A = this chain, B = another copy of it.
Amino acid sequence: MLKDRYPSRLLEDAVEAIGTLPGVGRRSAMRLALHLLRQPSDNVHHLAQSLVALRDQVKYCSCCMNISDDDICSICSDARRDHRTICVVETVRDVMSIENTGQYGGVYHVLGGSISPIDGIGPGDLTISKLIARVQELCADGDSAPEVIMALGGDIEGETTAFYIYRQLAPLNVNVTTLARGLGFGDDLEYADEVTLGRSLTGRQPFKP
């Protein structure tokens, strides 16, 4: 394909910069650039500033490694939450998903991904050692055993990571639990895959009418 002939170097620069975003091809980048041209200048400045502010000013909570505006995130600094229950998740998005359920009152630990040899991500690239240190501190600190909830992905990488963490936590006095796996709300048996339905069966629970 011939290189596109841009009528303006500014347009070309913008299209190339937008095109580096994941999932945005050259056509979409062009469409977005021409859209921005038609917007009020203030809107474009606001967009640009918010991107730079996000990149340069956002912090990571020194306790749970969640994204935060301060050194300690609003969840870790909330005294009403149960700080002896740690929910281990892969990403910031997972924290938001669980918070949106309104069903969880503990704290989190964001790993930053999952162990994936194919992608070159080993345990050292994640915040696992930090998690173990947190749990060790909790064990030394109180009477009751803390709880660690594995809320990792249901794929091979997630299960590998959960198993790796579990082995390091096993010597400690800690309850390790994992998210229930089974049929989703409203799911039909007919359309469930075998693994999901199988786990739903083996993990069956007392009927509470």
Task: State the A residues within 8 Å of B (CB).
Answer: 2, 4-11, 13-14, 16-18, 20-23, 28, 30-37, 39, 41, 43-58, 66-69, 73-75, 91-93, 95-96, 99-100, 102
Report whether A7 and B73 are in contact in the complex, using a CB–CB cutoff of 8 Å. yes
In contact, A17 and B91 (Cβ under 8 angstroms): no
Contacts A17-B50, A54-B14: A37 and B102 contacting too (C-beta < 8 A)? no
Once the chains bind, are A22 and B8 in contact (CB under 8 Å)? no
Number of copies: 2
* Given A58-B8, A96-B6, CB of A91 within 8 Å of CB of B34: yes
CA distance A180 to B183 in the complex (A): 57
Whole-angstrom distance between the alpha carbons of A31 and B13 in the complex? 23
Interchain CB contact (< 8 A) of A7 among B11, B37, B75 = B75
Q: Kindly list chain B residues whose C-beta atoms are within 8 Å of the C-beta of A39.
A: 55
